[in-house]
Amino acid sequence: MKVVVVGGGLAGISAVEELRTQGHTGDITLIGAEPHPPYERPPLSKGLLLGSAEPDSVFVHDATWYDEQQVELLTGTAVAGIDLDTGHVLIGDRRLPYDRLLLATGATPRHLPLADRSGADVRYLRTLDDALALGDRLTEHVLIVGAGWIGLEVAAAVRAAGGTATVVEATSLPLGNALGPELGGLFADLHREHGVDLRLRTAVDAIDDSRGRTTVRLSDGHELSPDLVLVAIGAVPDDRLAVTAGLVHDHGVLVNGWLRASDPHVFAAGDVATHDHPLLGRIRVEHWDNAIHQGRHAARTMLGDDEPYDRQPYFFTDQYDLGMEHVGHVGPEGYDEVVVRGDLASRVTTTFWIRKGRVLAGMHTNDWDAIEPIRAWVGREATDELRDPAVPLAEL
């Protein structure tokens, strides 16, 4: 069985590793558009910018691994199309056959057209090359559009480097959509304490670069003159191959519970996969853990495993001296109860989001022993003890 994996990110390499781990001896080709072999993205907005991680440390494997594992790795190679009828991927005028195909093409930053056409120094952060280029500019005045995970992590890196960080966020709190008001406020205070100029309920109205300097006009009437603008307003799935090939898609490649696409020989995993999750419904997850586990899962399904993918989403972030981990998913219907345990002032907390008495998600900040108990609560009925902060989590 010949397996072709399109997308040399974490989902792609995790699938390749799992195929070999499970004893698959057939041909494997891993194709990535970027010039680099697969690497980890989380350090791009953390250790790499902070100078605590070397660029070489982000690579998942060194070059010899691919030879040892007899994996054909094509970097700097963009797949242009898929011929589903004959089972080929198209690279220039080359047609590469497959028996099973994994689409792991990830996501790309959502663009802000008014910034793109302004002529100013506008950046996005997705790739290793983006991070290396941004790393040289952290001592300057960086205007960050969007107080999501990446925007806030870059703000922390700018402040650590001694630069000026302004963060402009259209909603009333950072991470408000992801965490709600209770925890969003904690992140707002954290960044302001570290000198970030955080402007909430504020949008960028215009960017002008015509007089030899960048002027950004905000919706509150203020004007700023940053050295560069980082746009961090989310990502969109890179499902173009699936769309042009005629695979069913829904803001991402639509896959069933087993990660199989509408063509039975094609699978998708990671940021590009819109998945019919057996417990959570239709969901697309843009996190490191999901890319790894879906990649592995798709590989096992290709080899004949019959388990649906039912892992709860998990993610983490580090900003200054605050680390957090989050498990579970608050769906579009939201939550009707939130339990915050611990101490918001010292930022050692655990939080549970609950709907109709059932725990949807939980997270901790700086309480590193809490993640396994939190994981165990997700999906269960909340109890009075869980709601009582006086009862330690470990004793529940």
Binding-site ranges for ligand FAD (CB under 6 A): 6-12, 31-34, 41-42, 44-45, 78-79, 104-107, 125-126, 150, 238, 241, 270-271, 286-289, 291, 315-317
The answer to whether 107 and 237 are in contact (CB under 8 A) is: yes
Tokens representing 33 are 């558009």
For residue 343, the Cα-to-chain-centroid distance in whole angstroms is 28
- Which is nearer to ligand FAD, 288 or 377 (by Cβ)? 288
- Which is nearer to ligand FAD, 15 or 370 (by Cβ)? 15
Tokens representing 128 are 């290793």
- Which is nearer to ligand FAD, 230 or 382 (by Cβ)? 230
- Which is nearer to ligand FAD, 292 or 382 (by Cβ)? 292
Q: Give counts: helices (H), strands (E), the chain.
A: 11, 26
Tokens representing 154 are 């870059």
- Which is nearer to ligand FAD, 40 or 367 (by Cβ)? 40
Q: How far is the CB of 206 from ligand FAD (least distance, A)?
A: 27
Q: How far is the CB of 48 from ligand FAD (least distance, A)?
A: 9
Q: How far is the CB of 138 from ligand FAD (least distance, A)?
A: 14
The answer to whether 96 and 5 are in contact (CB under 8 A) is: no
- Which is nearer to ligand FAD, 37 or 226 (by Cβ)? 37
Strand order in the sheet with 281-283: 253-255, 273-277, 281-283
CA gap 316, 301 in Å, rounded: 27
Q: How far is the CB of 90 from ligand FAD (least distance, A)?
A: 10
Q: How far is the CB of 350 from ligand FAD (least distance, A)?
A: 19
Residue whose C-alpha is closest to residue 7's, from 266, 331, 275: 266
Residue whose C-alpha is closest to residue 313's, from 358, 281, 350, 268: 281
- Which is nearer to ligand FAD, 105 or 202 (by Cβ)? 105
CA gap 57, 319 in Å, rounded: 20
* Cα separation values, 260 from 25, 193, 310, 370, Å: 22, 47, 14, 34
- Which is nearer to ligand FAD, 180 or 234 (by Cβ)? 234
The answer to whether 378 and 358 are in contact (CB under 8 A) is: no
Exposure string for 26-38, b = 16+ CB within 10 A, e = fewer: eebbbbbbbeebb
Tokens representing 144 are 């960050």
Q: How far is the CB of 287 from ligand FAD (least distance, A)?
A: 4
Q: How far is the CB of 232 from ligand FAD (least distance, A)?
A: 9
| Residues across the chain | 396
Q: How far is the CB of 371 from ligand FAD (least distance, A)?
A: 13
